[in-house]
Amino acid sequence: MRLKVLLLLVALVASIVFAQVTISVVACSDNADSLKWLAEEFMKRNPDVKVEITVLSWEVLYPRILADIAAKSAAFDVFNWDVMTAGAVSQGCVDLFQFMKENPDLVDPDYDFDDLLPLARDLSIWDGKLVGFPYFNNTMLFYYRKDLFEDPKIKQQFEQMFGRPLRVPTTWAEAVDVARFFTKKYNKNSPTEYGIALMFPTTHTMFYMYLLFFGPYRRSPEGLAKLGPVDIDYGDYFTADRKPAFANEFGLKAFEDIKALLPYAPDPLGSDYGETIEYFAKGIVAMVPQWTNPYLQFASSPVLQPADKKIGIAPMPGRSVAGNWALGINAFTTKEKQRAAFRFIQFATSKWADKEKLIRFAIAPVRKSTLEDPEAQKAIPWVSALPAIYADETFRPRIPEEPKLEDVTNIYFAKILAGELPLTIETLQKLADEWERILGK
């Protein structure tokens, strides 16, 4: 009898295992830890689905997704994708609006689409299709050494040197004096080696970092009068009539602001995401523009303890730049895997998951309920500041030609910053002409 029961149990377990559907998720390294944890939680609740997470850096992830879509190989069932690549990635993603109509049995009645932040939802839509569920409402923040900015002795020294009170800069022009003050080469009494950490390598980082400086001019009253309102799909790099917007005095001023700060940053043309995080975490710099999720790395740094006394968080001088991420389903995978994938991405972007991934991994929320949650606001200091920042962001282009535009732009920008190309409107116009060629205009 016992043998029969044991055999039945073995058969039951085997049937579950053999009926199990495996889905493969390709994820950016920034989202990896949260997605791995959510995959484990999902599998506990859904033993019929196995979720495998493949982690790639952004530089590798984007071309890998595009290659998978072009080949229709379905190497991955779920894409964790940067919504600013929507035009290109959407060509290989399931329209979730249509999918939910065709599979109503899978739709969670408690998902609450109205709770999604409008911008996060809109950035996941391309050409009227919902090509991903919003996952990570990333934006850039201005981190600074709160203890240094509030130190009476340091404040007195700054005022003696510059004739005005020390404060967290609200414009890039203000940031220059502050960065110089906190750089030992120019102020032997500086408590930090450098004033600010900047990242302008010849990678996609260059493309979004420029917007931190160009955005304030593009969105100024003068910029809007000359260039027109910003189209969310074409972003701040374009005019309202979809022409390059940077070959003018605004584009020049943005570069001038960048170049004014370069002497006060460690290796600004060679440093990228990881290096600038390290500079601030180790106390080498007094300020750094960075994304939301490095906060936990800063808060765990021995140099920055106690974190609430040493880490200050402010809006970006000028404007921030959006860096949202979504979870989409590969249009070329099997129907069975698409159904399993939908269940996972719906779970991973639910109200419960949105709050948990914020508290555990500092993944910026895509839901209003999380932003308003007292526990969430207490757990991560920047939560309460996000609504105002989200309302003031700049955007990269999301059109299908974006990868080619980015590649040519990064080369031009790198040469300008290195002094290999003259900083003139003529140089910027040559880049604009390259854009027109790529766009076929």
The last residue of a domain, from among 320, 352, 371? 320
Q: What pLDDT does residue 145 have?
A: 98
Domain containing residue 151: 141-320
Q: What pLDDT does residue 4 have?
A: 54
pLDDT at 17 over 90: no
Mean pLDDT of 72-86: 94
Predicted TM-score (pTM) of this structure = 0.92
User: And the tokens for 412?
Assistant: 């031009």
| Residue-wise pLDDT tens digits, 317-333 | 989 999 999 999 999 99
Provide, rounded to the nearest whole percent, the portion of the chain with pLDDT above 70: 95
pLDDT at 359 over 80: yes
Q: What pLDDT does residue 6 have?
A: 52
* CA angle 402–403–408, rounded 5-degree value: 100
Looking at every residue in the chain, the average pLDDT score rounds to 94
Q: What pLDDT does residue 2 have?
A: 57
**CATH code at position 242:** 3.40.190.10
| Residue-wise pLDDT tens digits, 218-253 | 999 999 999 999 999 999 999 999 999 999 999 999
Domain contains 28: yes
Q: What pLDDT does residue 68 have?
A: 93
Domain contains 397: no
Q: What pLDDT does residue 59 have?
A: 81
Shared domain for 159 and 58, answered yes or no, is: no
Shared domain for 307 and 159, answered yes or no, is: yes
| Residue-wise pLDDT tens digits, 91-122 | 999 999 999 999 999 999 999 999 999 999 99
The last residue of a domain, from among 292, 320, 348? 320
pLDDT at 15 over 50: no
Measured distance CA(163)–CA(79) in Å, rounded? 53
Shared domain for 306 and 160, answered yes or no, is: yes
Domain contains 94: yes
Shared domain for 65 and 151, answered yes or no, is: no
Q: What pLDDT does residue 134 have?
A: 98
Shared domain for 169 and 308, answered yes or no, is: yes
Shared domain for 199 and 295, answered yes or no, is: yes
Provide, rounded to the nearest whole percent, the portion of the chain with pLDDT above 90: 92
Domain contains 36: yes
Q: What pLDDT does residue 13 have?
A: 47
Domain contains 402: no
Using pLDDT thresholds of 50, 70 and 90, give the confidence band for residue 213. Answer: very high
Domain contains 180: yes
pLDDT at 9 over 60: no
Shared domain for 155 and 273, answered yes or no, is: yes
Domain contains 382: yes
User: Looking at 12-16, 132-136, 144-148, 191-195, which range is the least confident one?
Assistant: 12-16
Say how many domains are in the chain.
Answer: 2
The last residue of a domain, from among 277, 304, 320? 320
| Residue-wise pLDDT tens digits, 23-48 | 999 999 999 999 999 999 999 999 99
Shared domain for 118 and 157, answered yes or no, is: no
Mean pLDDT of 8-35: 75
Domain contains 16: no
User: And the tokens for 178?
Assistant: 């502050």
CB 395, CB 402: distance < 8 Å:
no
**Residue that wins the pLDDT comparison between 6 and 256:** 256
Measured distance CA(288)–CA(305) in Å, rounded? 17
Shared domain for 236 and 270, answered yes or no, is: yes
Shared domain for 182 and 295, answered yes or no, is: yes
Q: What pLDDT does residue 1 have?
A: 53
Shared domain for 35 and 173, answered yes or no, is: no
Shared domain for 123 and 180, answered yes or no, is: no
Q: What pLDDT does residue 57 have?
A: 87
